[in-house]
Amino acid sequence: MTPGSLTIPEKCDVLGVGISATSYSQVAEICASWVRQKRSCTVSPARYICATSVHGVMEARKSDEVRTFLNQADISTPDGMPLVWALRSFGIAGQQRVYGPTLMLRVCEEAARLGHRIFLYGGREETLGTLRDNLIRRFPDLQITGMYSPPFRPLNPEEEEFVRRTITDAAVDILFVGLSTPKQERWMAEHKACFPGVVMFGVGAAFDFHAGRVKQAPPWMQTRGLEWLYRLGSEPGRLWKRYLLVTPWFLPLWAMQKIGLARATRCIEQ
């Protein structure tokens, strides 16, 4: 599958989830190519890109539905260092992290340069205005044509229709979805048919980080795979189950896959 002359990055199976061997620049370039297709009136469903963490992989271990949402993504980037290490161990030499918050900034930079229209879906209502202002301050030419903060419950049919109409009327090229995993993956998978040609990104906590509501871990902790410790210390009440009871299982399962006692390593075709 190629958008223009660009090849979609190959996926490698990590505990049953296809993680793309890719980079910030490649994802941004492919996104720009998809937007060109959309603007040339090439009919296609929406595409979606997941910034996939160990938490996402472990959620997929518990749920076939979540695994399907992740594996149907056009691109699923290695958002955390343990996934980077896993890809390297499976032969993807030189793989680097493609972190959701940083990817969002790279895509916004390209969108500002190319005149792509952005929509922000997710986050708290009081956060979105600050997020919009911070992004425009950083990228003055960025066109943010709409935003919506959904309630912390399922939307009723009238609200669903309002959201679809609002995003469609905003003539969106790129839609950032800032919900928690697996909510954002589910939302993107279920709305592919609603927004033809739109490129959707599930970027998780990026909204809170770039709005300044939550601080990011220092770079040295990120590169050493210690971001979880920083986030646990920052939000223990919300994150203790994830980081103390769920994600630690990734390391032994990865080791089992590596020696052939868990799901075999293989590339997942698009």
Extents of the domains making up the chain: 17-214
Please list the alpha-helical segments (H only) found in 115-247.
Answer: 125-138, 157-169, 183-190, 206-211, 219-223, 227-234, 236-241
Instruction: Say if residue 182 is preceded by a cis peptide, omega within 30 of 0.
Output: yes
What's the confidence (pLDDT) of residue 2? 45
Encode pLDDT of 110-136 as tens digits.
Answer: 999 999 999 999 998 889 999 999 999
Q: At 45, list the tokens.
A: 């469903």
| Overall pTM surpassing 0.95 (yes/no) | no
Closest CA to 48 of 150, 192, 153: 192
Helix, strand, or coil here: 77? strand
Better pLDDT: 50 or 6: 50
What's the confidence (pLDDT) of residue 4? 47
Please compute the mean of the pLDDT values over residues 183-188 and round it to a whole number.
Answer: 96
Q: Which amino acid is at 67?
A: R
Question: In whole angstroms, what is the distance from residue 257 CA to residue 89 CA?
Answer: 11
Q: Is the dihedral of CA 131, 202, 140, 198 positive or negative?
A: negative
- Say what angle helices 81-89 and 250-258 make with each other, to 10 degrees: 10
User: How far, CA to CA in Å, does 192 sit from each of 45, 181, 202, 217, 220?
Assistant: 6, 17, 13, 33, 37
Name the residue with tokens 């049919």: 157
pLDDT at position 88? 96
Q: What is the pLDDT of residue 264?
A: 45
**Positive or negative, the Cα torsion across 247, 249, 251, 254?**
negative
Q: Looking at residue 270, what is its pLDDT?
A: 42
- For 230, counting Cβ atoms within 10 Å of its Cβ (0-12 exposed, 13-18 middle, 19+ buried), the class is middle
**What are 141-172's pLDDT values in tens digits?**
999 999 999 988 889 999 999 999 999 999 99
The rounded distance, in Å, linking the Cα atoms of 37 and 133 is 29
Q: Which CATH architecture has domain 17-214?
A: 3-Layer(aba) Sandwich (3.40)
